[in-house]
Structure 1
C-alpha cells in the first residue's frame, strides 16, 4: 500500500499520441497499466487527480458508490474549464437526484425502443449515402455522414423541428470544439438554452409524444420538475446522443479502412455487425480523457490509497486496451468474443443513449461499406486532422473517394 509521502509529482494529462499512428492510444498508457496503474496527473485546467488505467480497476471504480460524480465537489477534476452544476444535469449528480431524473426518461431509451427506431435510422442512412453518391468527390464523411445521422436522430427524439437542426448542429459544434473561445462557447450554450426553453414552452401549449413533450406532460405539468430542469435534461441528451456517436461513426469507418481485411470480413459476413461494432467501440473508445469522480471516503485502488475529497479520472480508453483482458488488445478483430467495452461507461451513470447509439453505428457502418464497396481514403490517415485535445476524440474531417 502506498501512502501520500511516496507519491511522485503529477505528470501532465493527457499524454500525447504518436502522430504517425492516430488510431492508437498514447504509448505511455501501456506503461501505466503495466507499472503504475494509479498515477497522479495534472489536467490542462491545472487540477490534480489520480489516473486509473486498468480495465478491472476502472470498471470497479465506476460501480463503487464511494466515488461521487458530483461536479460541485471541490476535488472534481476539471479538464479544460469549470463545469457548473445545473438542475436536471443527471450526468453530474449522485443518487437520489440522479435516480429521480434518470427514471423520468429511462423508458424512452430502452433496447426495445432503440430497435423500434432501426427502420427510421436505416432510411436516414440510405438518404445520406444517396446524397454522397450524387455529390462531388472527394467527400467529407464527417460533415456529410457521421454528424448528420445522430444529429437528426436525437432531434427527432427530442422533438426539434427539422428546419432548426442546422442551427442546433452549429451550437453543439461550438460547444464540443476545443478551439472555440470561452466567449463563443458561452454564446452557443446561451443560444441553445434559449432555443430549448422556447421549445419546451411550445410543448406546454401543444402536447407532443417526443422526449421533451412527454417530460412536459408527465413531470413538468404535475409539478415534479421545473421548466429549467426539462431544458437541461434536453441539453444532456444532446450531448449523450450526438457528439460521441458522430465521433464513433467516423473513427469506426476510418479503422475499417485502415484494416481492409476486417472491412472485407464484415462486408462478406453482415451477421457479424453486432460484435463488430462492440469491437470498434473497444478499439476506438472516443472517451480519450475518461470520466471524473471524487472519493467520498478513503479508498484503496491497486495498492494506492485515494483520500476522501481527491479527484479520480477513470481512463476508459486505456481500460479497453488492457492486455490482461483482451489478448493482443491493440489489434482490431471484429470476431473477438466477449468484448465488453467501456465506451458508454459502467454502473449507474452509464450512457443512457447506449442502445440507440449502437443501433446507429450498426446501421451506418454496415450500410456504408456495403453500398460503397470501393470506398477509400482520399489522403493518408497520418495527414488527417483530429480533435486531439478534446474530451471526445474525433476526426475533424474524413475525405474519401470511391
Structure 2
C-alpha cells in the first residue's frame, strides 16, 4: 500500500506566537488558504494533522471516526509527562475524553443535572453575586485589577454553589487549576496537583453521600443509568471538569471582552448607551477570543479524508477552534470585533456535535450579567495600563489575561438618592 504521508510538506510545530493579546499567530492565515490540513509536528510521537478551516473543524467535531479518547489532553503542545496508566488511575474517562457508549452514558447523567431550566433559575443569584463584587470594586482602591476583584471570584462562586464545592476552598482549587492548565510544570508538579485535586473531590463526594443537598455533586451521587450509579472516580472526574471549565473559561472570556471594549476609543461609552448590544458582544468575544487557544485533539479511529487529505487510523488530528473562528470564508473581516455581526453565534468555542459544551447556557448568562452590570455601574471605565503592557496566559491551555488594571470615576450620591458620577 502506498505511503500516504509521502510528498507532504515538512511537519510544522503548532503556531503559538501571538502578535498582540487579541490576535492570533499570523501563520493561520497562510495555512487556511494554502494548507488547511497541514502535517503537524508533535512534541512526542509521530506527526499528525492540523485543521484550520471552519467547515472542516466543525465537521471534525461531529465525526465519530475521530475519537476523543486519548491518554494526554495536551500532547499536541507539550510532551507527555504522565503515563497512560497514571492518567487512568488519577482521572478516568470523562466527557472530554470518552466516546460512545461511555460518553453517551455520562452525558445523559450530567444533562439531567445541567438543564436550561436550572441554569435560568440561577440568574437572580448570579446577579446578586455580580452586584456584591461590583459594590466591593466601587468601594475599593483604584486603580484595581478586574481579574482578582471580579472576573475570577464571580464565576468561581457561581460554579462553587452550583456544584456544591465550598467557596472557602477557592484558593485550593484555583491553585490546583493553575497547575493543571499550565504547560511549564514538571512531572512531579502535575502528578501532585492531580492527586491532591482528586483526593479533595473524593472527600466532598463522600460527604455528599452522607449528607446530600441541592447541588450538582449530590445529584451525580444519586444519578443512575439502568440502575447503575456512577462510581466515585467517575464523579470526581466529572466534578473536576465542571469545576475547572466552569470558572476558568468564563473568567477569561469576560476579561477579554472588557479588554476588547476598552482598547477601542469610545466603544465602552457607546455600548453603555446601547446595552441591547451586549449579547452580540458576548457572542463576538467567544468567536474572536477563543479560550481553548490550542484547539482540540482527536485520534482517527479508522482511515478517513479531511478536505481531500487522507488520514490514517491512529493519526492525531488537532481541530483548531481559534483558527476556525477567524476563517474569512465564514466570518467577514474576521480579525475585527463587531458587536453587530449577525452570524457570530455560529462560533465553535463551545464545540459542536456530541461533545458540545454542556455549560454554554450558564456561561452566556454569566457573561451577559457581568458585562451589562459593569457597563451600567462604570460608564467611564478605562484601562489603567497601556494595552501592550497587559500580561496574558500564553503558556496555559485556556487563554486569557493575567491582570487587567482598570480605573473609573467613583459613584457619588446625587440629589434625592440619585447616583451621579462624582469627581475626586
Instruction: Tell me the TM-score range normalised by the shorter chain.
Output: over 0.9
Question: Equivalent residue for 2:374?
Answer: 368
1:328 counterpart (322, 327, 333): 333
CA distance in 2, matches of 1:126, 1:196: 29
Which deviates further from its counterpart, 256-265 or 22-31?
256-265
CA distance in 1, matches of 2:44, 2:390: 27
Name the CA shift for 1:27/1:160 in 2 (closer, same or farther; >3 Å). same
Q: Is the 8 Å Cα contact of residues 95 and 103 (structure 2) preserved in structure 1?
A: yes
Post-superposition offset of 1:244: 1.3
Name the CA shift for 1:163/1:390 in 2 (closer, same or farther; >3 Å). closer
CA distance in 2, matches of 1:67, 1:99: 16
Question: 1:401 and 2:400 equivalent?
Answer: no
TM-score normalised to structure 1 length: 0.93
CA distance in 2, matches of 1:101, 1:279: 31
Q: Is the 8 Å Cα contact of residues 240 and 351 (structure 1) preserved in structure 2?
A: no
Post-superposition offset of 1:366: 2.0
Question: 1:208 and 2:243 equivalent?
Answer: no
SS, match of residue 170 in structure 2: helix
Question: Equivalent residue for 1:390?
Answer: 396
Question: Equivalent residue for 2:25?
Answer: 26
Question: 1:287 and 2:296 equivalent?
Answer: no
CA distance in 1, matches of 2:26, 2:53: 14
CA distance in 2, matches of 1:147, 1:124: 12
Q: Is the 8 Å Cα contact of residues 269 and 380 (structure 2) preserved in structure 1?
A: no
Greater relative contact order structure (CA < 8 Å, 6+ sep): 1
CA distance in 2, matches of 1:304, 1:276: 36
Q: Is the 8 Å Cα contact of residues 47 and 78 (structure 1) preserved in structure 2?
A: no
Post-superposition offset of 1:112: 2.6
Question: 1:358 and 2:357 equivalent?
Answer: no
Q: Is the 8 Å Cα contact of residues 92 and 237 (structure 2) preserved in structure 1?
A: yes
Which deviates further from its counterpart, 302-311 or 54-63?
302-311
Post-superposition offset of 1:195: 1.3
Identify unmatched segments of 5+ residues in structure 2: 409-424
Name the CA shift for 1:130/1:81 in 2 (closer, same or farther; >3 Å). farther
Q: Is the 8 Å Cα contact of residues 251 and 284 (structure 1) preserved in structure 2?
A: yes
Question: Equivalent residue for 2:40?
Answer: 41
Name the CA shift for 1:47/1:368 in 2 (closer, same or farther; >3 Å). farther
Question: 1:10 and 2:11 equivalent?
Answer: yes
Aligned length: 398
Q: Is the 8 Å Cα contact of residues 90 and 98 (structure 1) preserved in structure 2?
A: yes
SS, match of residue 242 in structure 1: helix
Post-superposition offset of 1:343: 0.8
TM-score normalised to structure 2 length: 0.89
Name the CA shift for 1:182/1:385 in 2 (closer, same or farther; >3 Å). farther
CA distance in 2, matches of 1:179, 1:372: 37
Post-superposition offset of 1:248: 0.8
Give the alignment's Cα RMSD to 1 decimal: 2.2
Question: 1:344 and 2:350 equivalent?
Answer: yes
CA distance in 1, matches of 2:267, 2:46: 41
SS, match of residue 91 in structure 1: coil
Name the CA shift for 1:45/1:387 in 2 (closer, same or farther; >3 Å). farther
CA distance in 2, matches of 1:134, 1:122: 18
